[in-house]
A and B are shown apart, each in its own frame.
Chain A
C-alpha cells in the first residue's frame, strides 16, 4: 500500500512533541515506546500495518482539543481511532502520525426517554449504547455485526450500517448531533437533541467523513422503543436468481421487513460445518425478519410466505419459538467467524441495485473460477449491500495480491451496474485507489474542497479516501 513519505522533520522532533503532549495529558495517556505503539499498528484490515510515531488516549473533549492544538502547531499528522475494527484500513497509522484514540472516553452523558435520545462520549461501544437504555426497553438501531467492539466514533466516521437498517436506517439517520474538535483545537457543537438545525447540513457531511474533518468526541443519538417481538423465517431456493426475485417481490408487495439477509451455497456450507444451524441444502438461503405483536408478525409472515411459495422454495421454515429464531440467526451471525476458521478472507462491501443481483452473483462466480479463489456471499439483500468474502491463503506468496485484484474487479462491476464501491465499511486505504472508477476527478475535487475547509493543512487522516495522486497538491500545502 502506497503511503505518503513520512515527514522527517516531524520524526526528528518526536521527543519534543512527546514532551508537549505529556504536559496536557496524564502520563499513561501518551504512548511512545516502540514496543507499545505497535498495539496501534493496524485495524481489522490486518494485511496492512505501520506503527505510529505516538499514540495518545485523551479522556475528555478538552484534552482532545489540547492534543490537536499541539499537533496542528507542530504540523503532525493525526489519525483518529475508535476501537480499530475498520475493515477498510481507516485507522491505519502513518509512521509520522499521532494516533488519537478515544477508547477512554466511554461515558453516557445523558439519557432522555421523554425526548428519546442519548448523549454519549464517542469511545463508547455501539452495543453498550443499547446496553445503557435496554432496561427501559429502548435500543439504538444501527447494529453493525462488530457492535460488541466498535465505537460510536468509528460508526459516525464510517456511517456504519447493520442488518436492521432496511427499516431503521444507518448511522446518519440516527445521529442528532456531535461535539467535534477541529484540527486547530476549536470545539464545535453541531446539531443537538432537536431535529432540524439552521444552515447547511454539516452533520450530514461529518457523518461518513472517515475521520478527515475533525475528531468527534460526543454524539447525540436517537433511541427507539423496542418492538414487542420479532421473528424470522428461513427460506431456501434453487438458485440465486430465484432468491433475488423473491426479495424484489416481497419489497414490491409493500412488506417492509426489518432485515432480509442472503447467503449463497458456499457460505451456507461453511456455516453448517461451523455453527450447525441446520440450514437446508439449497443454492441460496434467505432470512427474513419482521417485527411487531404476535398478530402483526403472523400477518406479515403470512404475506411473505405467500410470495415465497410462488418462487417454489426448497425449504420454508418459520420460527415457532425464541430458540428457533436464535437458531435461524445463529448461522448468519457466525458467517464471518465460520469463514475465518477455514481460510483467510477479504470482505468486500459494494452495493448494487437489487435488480442486478443475479447478474452480479453469476459474474462473481465466473471470476472465482478465473482467479482460482473461492468466494462466499453473505449480505443485506433488501438494500443491495453485498459482502462477497474472497478466500485466500495469507502465507502463500502472491495470494493476497491475487485476491485484491479479484476484489477490485468485483467492485468495478458493482459500479458498472449502477452501484458503489462501499455500502457501509468505508473507503479507507483499501478502496482509495478505486475511487476514480466511481467518481471523476471533478467529483473528488468537490469532496476534497470540503476537507480543505475543515482541515486546511490536511493533517487529519490525510492518506485515506482519496487516491494519493489526486490529493497530492492539497496535501503539499
Chain B
C-alpha cells in the first residue's frame, strides 16, 4: 500500500473502519516496541507523507508532513540557526531498532529529551496538527501560530496519544534559535542524593540551566553529574563560572566547552546509550526531582540514570520484574520502555480508574472500533 497523501490515508482508514481491520501505524519504525503489544492485521505507513510545507525562520514556525524524517527537519532548522526546542531523544540505540525516525513518530510518542527541563516537552512546542481519526475523517486543530486558544487544545491531546486517537498527517511547531555555544559543568563521584541536591541548586539559580543529569556509572564506571548551559558565548562563560562557584561545596568540578565533546557526552546521557548494550529491562520513571534518589534506593538491583534534574529516572532492572509495586508510595508514573517479550505485566498502565474512564471515553469517540494501534496504551 503506497499512501502518499492525507486523502490516501483517510480512504485507507475509512475502508479499515468499514471492515473492522486493525491497523498498526508505522512511521520510521524506530520506536515500535514502545507501549503495550499491539493487535493488528495490517500496517499503515506514513512515510509516503514527506516534506516541509512551510518554514518561516522569522516567525519561528515550521510545518511538515508526519512522515518527514526528523533529520530533514533538524537539518532545515540548522541551516537557519534554529532547532526544535525539546531535543527529541533517539531510541535506536536503547531499543536496538533501526530505521529513520519521523516527526510524526516523535509527536505520537511525545518524545522529548534533556531540554525538557527548561524548554518543555514535544507537546509544548507543538502548535498544530492534522490527523485522520479511526473512522477515516480528517480533523485539524491548532494551526501555524504560536499563540492560539481558539477552541479546545486537541494538539496536546494528540501528542503522546500513540496513534490511538488518529493517524497524524501534518504537524506544526514553534522552534527556537539554536545557541551559539554550550558548556557543561562536570562533577565526579557524587552519591545520588548529593548529586540531585546539586542539580536542584543549579536549577533554582538564575543561570538558565538547559540540562541537568546524573549517571551512576559514567564512561569510566564512576558517577558523573552534568549541568549544561547554552546561549551566546559571553553569557555561557559567565553563567557556567557562576554555577561552578555556586556548587563548590559539592566538591571539585570541571568545565567542558569543546562542542564535539559536549554534544557527544550529552547524547550519551540523553539517549540512554549506557543501557544500550546491557541486558535487562529499561524503565522510564517520572517523579518529583527530589524523589529521584528514593526511586533508586527502592531499586537496589537497578542501575539508574537521572535526567531532568532527577525528575526522570531511567532504570536498568533485572528482566521481568514489575517495579511499579516496589515504587508505590512515590507519586509519579513508571513505564517499561524495553523488556523481553515474555513479560506478563503491561508496559503501561492507566494512572487511576477515573482517568482510565475518561481515556476510554475519548478513544471510543475518536477511534470507535478500536482499529488504530489497538491495545498499545492499555
Contacts and interface: CB of A to CB of B under 8 A. Distances in A.
Interface of A: 112-116, 137-138, 158-159, 161, 165, 169-170, 172-173, 182, 186, 188-190, 192-205, 207-209, 225-228, 247-249, 251-256, 292-293, 295-296, 299-300, 303, 351-355, 380, 383-385, 418-427, 431, 435, 438-439, 442-444, 446-447, 449-454, 465-466
A468 to B, nearest CB: 15
A161 B365 CA distance: 30
Nearest to B180: A254
B58 A420 contact: no
Given A207-B153, A420-B148, A169 B286 contact: no
By size class, the interface of chain B is 35 or more
Contact of A254 (B141, B178, B291): B178
A182 B357 CA distance: 12
B358 interface: yes
Nearest to A431: B150
A103 B140 CA distance: 36
Given A189-B352, A227-B206, A427-B151, A446 B139 contact: yes
Interface in B140-198: 140-141, 143-157, 159-161, 165, 176-180
Contacts, number: 260
B288 A251 contact: no
B286 A353 contact: no
A450 B364 CA distance: 10
A454 B358 contact: yes
Interface of B: 56-61, 80-82, 110, 116-117, 120-121, 123-124, 133, 137-141, 143-157, 159-161, 165, 176-180, 200, 203-206, 232, 234-235, 238-239, 286-291, 308, 311-312, 331-333, 335, 348-352, 354-356, 358-359, 361-362, 365-366, 377-378
Contact of A423 (B133, B139, B149, B154): B149
A255 B349 CA distance: 42
Which one of B81, B147, B239 has the greatest number of beta carbons of chain A within 10 Å? B147
A442 B149 contact: no
Contacts of B291: 194
Contacts of A194: 286-288, 291, 311, 331-333
Which one of B138, B141, B151, B239 has the greatest number of beta carbons of chain A within 10 Å? B151
A435 B150 contact: yes
Given A199-B377, A205-B153, A256 B235 contact: no
B292 to A, nearest CB: 10
A299 B352 CA distance: 50
Contacts of B177: 251, 253-256
Contacts of B206: 137, 225-228
17 contacts: A172-B124, A186-B354, A194-B333, A195-B116, A196-B121, A199-B355, A200-B359, A201-B157, A205-B156, A248-B58, A252-B81, A254-B232, A296-B238, A353-B145, A354-B58, A383-B145, A449-B362
Given A189-B352, A296-B234, A447-B141, A169 B289 contact: no
B149 A158 contact: yes
A225 B145 contact: no
Top 6 nearest A-B pairs (CB, nearest first) are: A204-B156, A248-B58, A423-B147, A254-B177, A453-B361, A449-B365
A197 B365 contact: no
A465 B151 contact: yes
Given A248-B58, A353-B144, 20 more contacts: A115-B289, A158-B149, A188-B358, A189-B352, A195-B117, A198-B348, A199-B348, A199-B355, A201-B110, A205-B153, A209-B153, A227-B206, A252-B81, A254-B82, A352-B145, A427-B151, A438-B151, A443-B151, A449-B366, A453-B358
